[in-house]
Amino acid sequence: MERHLALLKRLSVDSGMKEFIRNEIRKKEAGIRGEERLLRKLKELRLPGPFRIFSDVGLHIDDWRVQIDCLIVTDSCCIVLESKNMSGNLNFDIDTEEFYRIEEENIEKSFPNPYYQLMRNIRFMKEFLNRSFPELKVTGAIVMTSKSCRIRNKPSHYPIFKLESIIEKIIHLNNNSPSLLLDFDSIEKLIQKKQSAFVYSPLCEHYHISPNDIIPGVECPSCGVIGMERISTTWTCLACNKNNRYAHISAVEEYFWLIKKEITNKDFRKFCGVKSIHSASRMLNSMNLQAFGSGPARYFIRKDSSLAIS
C-alpha cells in the first residue's frame, strides 16, 4: 500500500494515470479489509492438535516467489487460504473457466480466476515442504470475505467458500488429513525461518509508467512538500523552514519502489536534487545499501527492508 500511495503522491498530473492508481489503491484497501476479516474469523478456530496461523506469508524456492494471504499449519496438514473481498454476482464459466462479475447494465467484468492462484500456491507449498516433510498433506481454499457476494456456477471441484462457513471447512480439511504425528515445532520453525519479504517490481515498470512522469525531489517529513534543498549537511524545506539530516532516505526508498531496484550516484543526484558528486557519494555510502562496481558505473541496491543509516 505504501508503494502505491508514494506513486500517487509523485505522479504528475499530466501522466493521466492518477485516477487509475486511485482505483488500484481502493482495490488494495478492500483486499486488506478482507484479510483482516478472515483473521478475525480464524480466532474462533479450535483444532484437536497444535496449529499455527501465519498471515501475509512470503516464501521462495530459488527464483520462485509466492505471497500467501494465510497459512494454517497443523501436525497433519498445511492449509493455504486465499482471501477475496469481492461483492456482487460472481460467476464462473464452466466451459472457458473464466471468472467475472455482472455489473450495471449486465456488463461482464473479468478477473483472474482465483482457483488457479490457489493451485499455484498449493503446488509451491508441496514442493517447499517436500524436502523436509514429504508426508505432510497440503490443501487449501478460497475465502470470499464480502457479505454481499453471490457465487454462481461454481465448478464442484473449486474449494471456494463464504467467510461464515470457513471454520467448519478448515476443521473438515484437517480431519480428512491422516494423523502423521509429525514434529509440529519443526514445521513451524521451518516456515518462520524461511519467510522473506516479497520482492515487487518497481511500479513504473509494473504499470508501464514513464519515469519522466514521476515528480523528483526530497519530501519534507514535517509538511509533506516535495523539493527540500541540501544546504551544508542537512536538508531544508523552503515551505516550512524545517531541517532534517536524513530526509533523503525516504526519497531513495521511493525511488526503489517506483523507478528502479538499483540507483547510481547520477540517479541519486537527479532524483534528490543534489549537485555535488562527493556529497551524493557520502550519503549513499552511509545508507544500508550494497554497492557494486566502481567509478560512474557503481550502483547500489538495498540490503534488506531498512535503509536506515548504517
Alpha-helical runs (H) found in the chain: 2-10, 18-42, 114-130, 166-175, 184-194, 203-207, 248-258, 265-272, 277-286
Q: What pLDDT score does 310 carry? A: 47
Give the pLDDT band of residue 296 (cuts 50, 70, 90).
confident
- Contact call for residues 206 and 198 (beta carbons, < 8 A): no
Residues in contact with 43: Cβ distance below 8 Å, sequence separation at least 6, in sequence order: none
Q: How far separated are the first and last CA of the chain, in Å rounded?
A: 26
Note the pLDDT tens digit of each residue in 85-113. Answer: 999 899 998 889 899 998 877 888 999 99
- Contact call for residues 119 and 126 (beta carbons, < 8 A): no
Note the pLDDT tens digit of each residue in 75-89. Answer: 889 999 999 999 989
Q: What is the mean pLDDT of residues 194-200?
A: 82
Rounded to the nearest integer, the mean pLDDT of the chain is: 92
Statement: residue 8 has pLDDT above 70: yes
User: How far is residue 143's CA from residue 159's CA, in Å, rounded to a whole number?
Assistant: 9
| Residue 286 burial (CB count, 10 A) | 14
Statement: residue 193 has pLDDT above 80: yes
Q: What is the mean pLDDT of residues 217-222?
A: 97
Q: Strand pairing of 88-92 and 149-152?
A: parallel
User: How far is residue 21's CA from residue 211's CA, in Å, rounded to a whole number?
Assistant: 15
- The domain spans of the chain are 2-194, 216-302
Q: What is the mean pLDDT of residues 210-233?
A: 96
Q: What pLDDT score does 309 carry? A: 53
Residues in contact with 51: Cβ distance below 8 Å, sequence separation at least 6, in sequence order: 45, 72, 73, 74, 75, 174
Give the pLDDT band of residue 306 (cuts 50, 70, 90).
low
Statement: residue 127 has pLDDT above 60: yes
Statement: residue 283 has pLDDT above 70: yes
Return the CATH number of 216-302, one of 1.10.490, 3.40.210, 1.10.10, 2.60.120: 1.10.10
